[in-house]
Amino acid sequence: GAMTERWEKEDFDVMLLIDVREVKSKTERDAFVDGLNEQQIPVAQTQLPLGDILLVAKHKHTKEMSCLDVIVERKTDGDLIASITDGRFKEQKRRLTTICPIKHVLYLIEGSGDGINVANFGEDKYFAAIAQAPVTEDIYVQRTRSLADTIGFLCALYHDCVRRYDSGLTVYRGD
């Protein structure tokens, strides 16, 4: 059976794991990571099997990591439209809500929603895709207007997570 282990709050740090493939250009990735670091948010980059950003607890002594209950998929308006068009949006949502054991799936959509991309694609289709996610897939959607806005939101998410695990964490071990 699965074993459990108790980590007290002084045993671990909460941090953000960011998928290395998440950001198109190195410049933007650096700006993203630097922005989080400036806000004192601990960040590590790795290849994630699912999602773009994962909240994890990292044990201070063993360095072992355990996933917390939030996974974030970050998209710009342009990415979102491309993924709706080629069917990846549906597939990603399916994987995040069925394969992924993490409780809260969050879509972070960056952009104003009033750009040329959206106009060409069709505003109604664009907003319909965003509106369906929370209703049909139980995915929380957060819109941000810019990279700075996204960083601000992730800071709030991080601090919320730290508060929620203030009384410690139960880590499950599979066989």
The Cα 150–Cα 9 span in angstroms is: 27
Is residue 114 annotated as part of the catalytic site, yes or no?
Answer: no
Contacts of 14 (CB under 8 A, 6+ apart): 42, 55, 56, 57, 58, 68, 158, 161, 162, 165
Angstrom distance (rounded) from CA 104 to CA 53: 12
Sorted by sequence, the CB contacts under 8 Å of residue 44 that are 6+ apart come out as 15, 16, 17, 18
Instruction: Name the catalytic one among 19, 52, 77, 79.
Output: 79
CA 35, chain centre distance (Å): 16
Using only C-alpha atoms, the chain has a radius of gyration, in whole angstroms, of 17
Q: Which residues are catalytic?
A: 79
